[in-house]
Amino acid sequence: MHALERPLTAELERLATAGLTRHRRLLASPCGPRAVVEGQEMLAFASNDYLGLAAHPDIARALADAALVWGAGSGASHLVSGHLCPHAELESRLAAFTGFDRCLTFSTGYLANLAVTPTLAARRDDEIFADRLNHASLIDAAQLSRARHQRYPHGDMATLERLLAASVARTKLIVSDAVFSMDGDLAPLAKLFALAERFDAWLVIDDAHGFGVLGPQGRGSLAHCGLPAHPRVLLMGTLGKAAGVGGAFVAGSELAIEYLLQKARSYIFTTAQPPSIAAALIRSLELIAAGDDRRAHLQSLIRQLQAGCANLPWRLLPSQTAIQPLIVGDNEKALALSRSLWEQGLWVAAIRPPTVPAGTARLRISLSAAHRHEDVAALTSALQSLA
Ligand SMILES: Cc1ncc(COP(=O)(O)O)c(C=O)c1O
């Protein structure tokens, strides 16, 4: 072993001893409820493909057709020579869909989040107010900024109000997931917006898990809560979950988006996503807008799961989204439950600290409009048999 590797080995051993080593499962099938995983046929409740679009033939066809017309890669960043017609078309469709003036697209949601917070709150005397359960990419974004990072307890509007009232920062940024990725609950968006108005703060909303699923035509969590596309709001949405492809967008006012285009390092210093991805997303957006049947089916699966889990010794968190967490508590018990389901051909991920708070290890049941009612019945009866 090279001397440089010694501390790495020690850390890997520490993770292994703590039972925190992570493993990738290898799939030999496209994303969907029926997955071939390491030679086994599994019924999967583990993806973020909430509308069942990841393997939709129309989207795959749009991607393939566009690759034949536009080539495989964009060849440069958007500001150099990588901004192609499909990118521009996707931007304007996303802006129209979300109701904002304008939007920018990114290769991943992680990069989109890194673009917003450090760019808007760039100075030491700026202040960021963030929900404690925000996604890791929002936390990293805050750490990239020089601003002061204040984290308020999950959903605690009284504490947020107190922090905002005490702040003397010229630029204040309230940052929150719209739908929390490990709990499935919705942030109090109307209250966040009211506080942003009262204390003249930006409101940055990460709608990774609401876009496509919530709101009329799947326009997302803001539309679901009846909030306006106001100039103080920046909306980030990911395109690799309900949209079924990959990438992300940030939507906002004309000026805020122009500012990000000029200043956001994770927009400027990275190659634009392949144009075929943008073309696939244009088709996906059409399917999302016309996807009321998919969303209604998803909601009926959610109700079925909630009814089927009502008498279990583990508590399903209240969530109206596709993310349905079953709280087990103990790390080992959550892992054992996930393993027992696996042995019955059911794939549900166990989520443990540090991803979730200590003592709240859980199964993260992820539903998709591609599931059938008999799939959910198979899961609930397996859970009943293990209770
Ligand atoms: C809330 C939230 N924000 C951002 C991201 C990052 O998006 P992406 O996977 O497109 O990088 C994720 C998940 O991946 C997420 O759950």
Q: What is the mean pLDDT of residues 322-328?
A: 97
Q: What is the pLDDT of residue 337?
A: 97
Choice from 31, 238, 250 to test ligand 1 binding pocket (greatest atom count within 8 A of CB): 238
Helices (H), the chain: 6-17, 57-70, 85-98, 109-120, 136-144, 157-166, 189-198, 221-224, 254-263, 265-268, 275-289, 292-308, 331-343, 373-386
Instruction: Give the single-character DSSP code of 217.
Output: G
248 is written with which tokens? Answer: 């992300």
Segment 145-176, tens digit of pLDDT: 999 999 999 999 999 999 999 999 999 999 99
Percent of the chain with pLDDT over 90: 95
- Asked whether residue 102 carries a pLDDT value surpassing 90, the answer given is yes
Q: What is the pLDDT of residue 252?
A: 98
Minimum CA distance residue for ligand 1 atom 16: 181
CA of 101 to the centre of ligand 1 (A): 23
Q: What is the mean pLDDT of residues 7-23?
A: 90
**Ligand 1 neighbour 179 (Cβ under 6 A):** no
Three-state DSSP class for 54? coil
* Active-site residue set: 181, 209, 241
Task: With cut-offs at 50, 70 and 90, classify the pLDDT of residue 353.
Answer: confident
Minimum CA distance residue for ligand 1 atom 8: 109
Cβ atoms of 79 and 224 within 8 Å: the answer is no
**Ligand 1 neighbour 74 (Cβ under 6 A):** no
Helix or strand (DSSP H, E) at 356: none
Q: Which atom of ligand 1 is nearest to the CA of 134?
A: 1
Segment 62-79, tens digit of pLDDT: 999 999 999 999 999 999
Q: What are phi and psi of 362, to 5 degrees?
A: -150, 165
The pTM for the full model equals 0.96
**Ligand 1 neighbour 110 (Cβ under 6 A):** yes
The mean pLDDT of the chain is 97
- Asked whether residue 22 carries a pLDDT value surpassing 90, the answer given is no
Task: With cut-offs at 50, 70 and 90, classify the pLDDT of residue 27.
Answer: very high
- Asked whether residue 20 carries a pLDDT value surpassing 90, the answer given is no
Q: What is the pLDDT of residue 354?
A: 83
- Asked whether residue 18 carries a pLDDT value surpassing 90, the answer given is no
Single out the residue of 246, 339, 318 nearest to residue 49, CA to CA. 246
Q: Across the strands, what pairs with 324?
A: 365
What the chain holds in terms of domains, given with CATH numbers, is 23-51+292-386 (3.90.1150.10), 57-289 (3.40.640.10)
Segment 138-151, tens digit of pLDDT: 999 999 999 999 99
Percent of the chain with pLDDT over 70: 100
Q: Which atom of ligand 1 is nearest to the CA of 248?
A: 10
Q: What is the pLDDT of residue 83?
A: 98
CA of 106 to the centre of ligand 1 (A): 12
Minimum CA distance residue for ligand 1 atom 10: 109
Q: What is the pLDDT of residue 163?
A: 98
**Ligand 1 neighbour 177 (Cβ under 6 A):** yes
**Ligand 1 neighbour 70 (Cβ under 6 A):** no
Q: What is the mean pLDDT of residues 34-38?
A: 96
Q: What is the mean pLDDT of residues 6-12?
A: 97
130 is written with which tokens? Answer: 């963030």
Q: What is the pLDDT of residue 273?
A: 98
Q: What is the mean pLDDT of residues 253-259?
A: 98
